[in-house]
Structure 1
Amino acid sequence: MRIALALPGIDADQVELELLRAGHRIAWRAIDREELLRQLAEDAPDVVLVADDPAVATLDVVGAGDLLGVRTCLVRADDAASASARLLGVHDVLRAVPGRPVDLSVLRAPFDALDGGIDEAAAPRLRDAPGGPPAGSEPSGAATPGPWPLGPSAGGDDPAPSDPGAAPARRRAGRDPAAAARGDAASAGGGRAPGIRRPWGRSPRRRGGAATPPTSTESTPAPAPSAAPAASVDPRRPGRAAEPPPSEPATEPAPSTPAHRVIAVWGPAGAPGRTLIATTLAAELAARGLHVCLVDADTYGGTIAPSLGLLDEAPGFAAACRLAASDALDAGQLDRVSVDYGGSTAPFRVLTGIGRPHRWPELARDRVIGALEQARQWCDVVVVDVGFNLETDEELSSDLLSPRRNAATIAALRTADEVVAVGAADPVGITRLLRTHADLLETVTVEAVHVVVNRVRSSVLGVDPAGQVRQTLDRFGGIPNPLLIPDDAAAADAALLGARTVVDAAPRSPLRQGVAALADRLGYGAAAAPRRSAWGRMRRTG
């Protein structure tokens, strides 16, 4: 592996010696930010080791590495937590403490530094602290920490964390031929490399929904339905014992429920309610027993994280795209870079978007496609909130290799199995929807688009607002059967005030009922009957 060094203030000789002993090659060295950017442009290595110093660890350095396909790894000379790792969205932190061997396991593909996510990567490594257990002494069957663990294997058959056989079969060509050969041998016959399991303990399924029989490469045999694990932990609420499975089958998806689908939620400019519909739809599908991942792919103003009260210092979708560019994205990495929305009614996973619009080059077209395809296999449904702009004029620019800002939106729409177009129910919103609906049909690859008109009210449309909206869309846009959602400002404000979804904040609101009708139209059946809470019983009986 070709590695570049930019380590001002750190004993670079010690790091270089350890790298050479491990069989790596030193591509070049840099001492400041300007030289680092110039060297990256002239000769892109596989990995660049950057000191955790504001002089070289900057957003433009990380962004340049992302554009060139170069992994960026921060280097610290102590065991203190790294604030730059969280701010820069870098998940790999290498500890080069004087007088102690340098642990190079962070460089082992595919991104072993992501064990435990960015929080653990940025935090001090306690196993290397004085008095702690030596590095590499963890038991091979230890479960991976995180809010959605992949589950320990029965009998400790998983390979050790340092076992190269645990790497997935996919590799970038030419990076590590020996490891790629091992991955190809492990994935022969349709199986997966040892140690890689699907989340939530579900057996792998093909995209069409047919179950795939287990192979000999499966590290954990599927337990019998009647046998409960000795120490079961609720994956949705870490630290709590898992409740016994409910006797009613209504919370499980029906056998005819479509699985492994990507649903893109789009809307024209003017804030028609894309994010509100996307978050409510994700919560509604999760309430019906589906494992849902909500993705924020808006390159202009992603707001899913603040609307749900989630931290977006390290954008999860940008990290997933970076992993997809290196062919290192799998179920385990998706589980670690995503965050959990722990709603009381419908918890689901979230890949947060870029917090600052200038980071849009991280969401390149091929990266977005690869990340969404992996997320499709990771869970039952992927709901993607995309941007509004469908223009392709930027492809006429002179720099044919430069990234396109609208490529993330267009790639998500073309990857999606279902597309939902959201428009606002007012004269301006209907006009914008009609003008851009034709462009949307030319962009997507699906046969039909589900049109949703949000905030239908008589205060701006007069008498019979629903009839006027249907007649206008049918006459001027050829849209015969739009789904109309009434204006429900109280439910939307309650959800925004509590940083929750509408399903949790106002489960009986007209807004939630409208999105439930959208889920039915998408083919996911009726919602399971909600359980009556103790507080609801007290209000009824008291």
Structure 2
Amino acid sequence: MEVLRVVTLAGDPEREADLAPRLATEPSLDLYLRCVDRVELLAAMRSGAIDAIIAVGAPSWFDDAAAAEAARAGLRVVGVADNSLETRALENRGASVLDARSSVGQIVDACRSARPITPAAPSETTGSRSGRVIAVWGPKGAPGRTTIAIELAYALAGTADPTVLIDADPYGGDALQLLGVVEELPTILWAAAAAASDDGRRDLVANLRRVGGHGLLLVPGLPRADLWPEVGHYGYAELIKLLAAEARFVVLDIGFCLEDQSSLGGPGGRNTLALAALERADSVIAICRADVVGVKNFIWSFESLRELVDDDRISIVLNRVHGGEGREIDELLSRHTGLRSSVVFPDLPLDCRKAVEQGEALQEVRPSSDICTRTRLLAERLGGKVRPRGLLARLAGRS
């Protein structure tokens, strides 16, 4: 049998490091090079020494130009994808795509049977599909915006659809730390700049970090609050548009202040991230902390939200409710706003503290928590097809 000379592309370095040694021991393959960047890939293709490319994940540097050169060289490209976003990116480059669980034998067979690639033409529908954009807002006073945004995004990511969480709080983002990510990642500064350029936007989604067991895609917030002027208004708006075209749900954790501060610099000033998110949002989760100060802050700030968003797009959420106080607070909000809460979250500080200490979503640390139950209810009301849990899951599994 003819021995195939192949290279691997480390789109996902960990998965590539696991697969490469197994490929190297396959008698019908000669692992010529393990490429970690564009320079190595181009050198391998131009050497004329290889027959096929095995892309493990979807590296940003395997772009249209690299795919076109592979096509001119008559190379076959096999992609090993772990999710739908990687699959789409690789298929757009003309690759034959296998599931990440495929065996070495299946990968070898694909390398032999695949036709030399012809990069796919851009789909006419690219960018026309639109996922649901959900902005999570609350007034000053720590109502629990970020916690609920993380839990909601995590619940939605547990459905069959890709979900993105954008930490868009210009007064300082904490989602990265709350989710236990300690390494430095490209932030909203990079993402907005990439979305504003033709070259950057092409592989933006493939370069986002996945966190948690459900594969939630994360756009981290500003590393320092004083960097807010560096987020371009156009790039940020394009970022939301691009992610909504790629993902089923886009959840934005936005800042509390909704004042137009154009006179202080830039369109909308420091609050441009919140204002642009509300303008684009299909749904707005308005969070009221269920105590005297929290209710006061909410009622005073809610009119500012109403000036920007129609009532039919707003869902009020009561957070940190003690005992049976939810009904009384709901009546108070109804008298002042004319709206009632859609979901009530109990005050369970020990559950939340455990999640923070472990650097994970509460749904991973303690999925039986009542907070998680209420989060899944909210996700369902926003269109997420949340899988049943506990007794309901067991009943659903019966034939």
TM exceeds 0.5? yes
CA contact (8 A) 1:283 1:501 kept: yes
Q: Residue 211 of structure 2 corresponds to which residue in structure 1?
A: 341
Partner Cα distance (2:269, 2:51) in 1: 44
1:275-424 to 2 correspondences below 5 Å: 275-311=146-182, 313-330=184-201, 332-336=203-207, 338-343=208-213, 346-392=214-260, 394-397=261-264, 404-424=269-289
For 1:513, which of 373, 382, 394 is the aligned residue?
373
Aligned counterpart in structure 1 of residue 44 of structure 2, from 126, 130, 137: 137
The runs of at least 4 aligned residues of structure 1 exceeding 4 Å deviation read: 114-117, 126-129, 132-135, 138-141, 162-166, 220-223, 228-233
TM-score of the pair, normalised by structure 1? 0.53
How has the CA–CA distance of structure 1 residues 312 and 444 changed in structure 2, closer, same or farther, with 3 Å as cutoff?
farther
* 1:143 to 1:222, Cα distance in 2 relative to 1, 3 A: closer
2:134 aligns with one of 255, 259, 263: 263
Report the Cα offset of residue 221 of structure 1: 6.6
Aligned equivalents of 2:201 and 2:105: distance in 1? 24
5 Å matches for 1:183-332? 199-201=85-87, 219-220=94-95, 231=104, 260-311=131-182, 313-330=184-201, 332=203
In the TM superposition, residue 296 of structure 1 has moved relative to its aligned partner by 0.6
User: Could you state the TM-score of these two structures normalised by the residue count of structure 2?
Assistant: 0.70
C-alpha contact (below 8 Å) 1:364/1:403 kept by paired residues: no
Q: Does 1:456 align with 2:321?
A: yes
State the distance in 2 between where 1:220 and 1:162 align: 9
Aligned partner letter, 1:375: L
Give the Cα separation in 2 of the matches to 1:331 and 1:467: 49
Rounded to whole Å, the distance in 2 between the matches of 1:382 and 1:404 is: 23
1:433 to 291, 295, 298: 298
**How far apart are the structure 1 equivalents of 2:308 and 2:54?**
43
1:143-154 superposed matches below 5 A: 143-144=54-55, 149-150=57-58
Select the structure with the greater relative contact order (CA < 8 A; seq sep ≥ 6): 2
| DSSP 3-state at the match of 1:444 | coil
The 1:483/1:529 distance shift into structure 2, 3 A limit, reads closer
Task: Determine if the alignment matches structure 1 residue 161 to structure 2 residue 66.
Answer: yes
1:230 positional shift: 5.2
Describe the superposition over 1:497-540 as per-residue Cα deviations: whole angstroms up to 9, x where unpaired: 100001101100011111111112212244244799xxxxxxxx
Does 2:387 match 1:527? yes
Cα deviation 1:8-50 (Å, max 9, x = unaligned): xxxxxxxxxxxxxxxxxxxxxxxxxxxxxxxxxxxxxxxxxxx
Please, what is the CA RMSD of the aligned residues?
3.9
Q: Alpha carbons of 1:164 and 1:319: their partners in 2 closer, same or farther (altered >3 Å)? A: farther
Amino acid at match of 1:453: L
Change (3 A) 1:480 1:230: same
Native 8 Å contact 1:491 1:509 kept in 2: yes
Q: Which amino acid aligns with 2:209?
A: V
Return the alpha-carbon distance in structure 1 between the equivalents of residues 180 and 342 of structure 2: 31
Q: 1:311 Cα shift?
A: 3.5
User: What is the Cα deviation at residue 335 of structure 1?
Assistant: 1.8
Q: CA deviation at 1:295?
A: 1.0
Checking the alignment, whether the CA contact within 8 Å between 2:141 and 2:294 is kept in structure 1 is yes
Q: Are the structure 2 counterparts of residues 231 and 432 from structure 1 closer, same or farther at C-alpha, using a change threshold of 3 Å?
A: farther
Aligned partners of 2:373 and 2:105: how far apart in 1?
35
- Take 2:305 and 2:36, find their aligned partners in 1: how far apart are those partners? 54
Kindly indicate whether the alpha-carbon contact (under 8 Å) linking 1:141 and 1:160 is maintained by their aligned counterparts in 2. no
Give CA deviations for 1:433-475 in whole Å, capped at 9, x if unaligned: 11111211222367320111100014xxxxx401111110101
Q: Which amino acid is 2:377 matched to?
A: A
> 1:468 aligned to 2:328?
yes
Note the residue ranges of structure 1 that are not aligned, 5 or more in a row: 1-113, 118-125, 167-196, 205-213, 234-257, 459-463, 533-542
**Once the 2 structures are TM-superposed, how far is the Cα of residue 314 of structure 1 from its aligned partner?**
4.0
Provide closer, same or farther for how the CA distance between residues 406 and 523 of structure 1 changes in structure 2, counting only shifts above 3 A: same
AA paired with 1:219? Answer: G
Task: Name 1:88's counterpart in structure 2.
Answer: none
Q: Which residue of 1 aligns with 2:111?
A: none
CA shift at 1:363, angstroms? 1.9
Q: CA deviation at 1:417?
A: 1.4
More displaced stretch, 325-334 vs 301-310: 325-334
The residue identity in structure 1 corresponding to 2:66 is: P
Question: CA separation in 2, counterparts of 1:278 and 1:517?
Answer: 14
Distance in 1 between residues matched to 2:179 and 2:318, nearest whole Å:
23
More helix by share: 2
Which structure dedicates a bigger proportion of its chain to strand?
2
CA distance in 2, matches of 1:379, 1:355: 25
1:447: which partner in 2?
312
Check 1:159–1:367 CA distance in 2 against 1; reply closer, same or farther (3 A cut).
closer
Identity level (%): 27
Q: What letter corresponds to residue 94 of structure 2 in structure 1?
A: S
Q: Is the 8 A contact 2:89 2:206 kept in 1?
A: no
1:325: Cα distance to partner? 2.0
Spell out, residue by residue over 1:341-386, the C-alpha distance to the aligned partner (whole angstroms, 9 max, x if none).
133xx23111111111111112232211101111112222111111
SS at match of 1:382: strand
Which one of the candidate residues 482, 498, 502 is aligned to 2:362? Answer: 502
Distance (Å, rounded) in 2 between the aligned partners of 1:456 and 1:232: 56
What is the SS of the residue equivalent to 1:405? helix
Which residues in structure 2 correspond to 1:105-116 (within 5 Å)?
none
Which amino acid is 1:161 matched to?
A
Structure-1 separation of matches of 2:70 and 2:135? 36
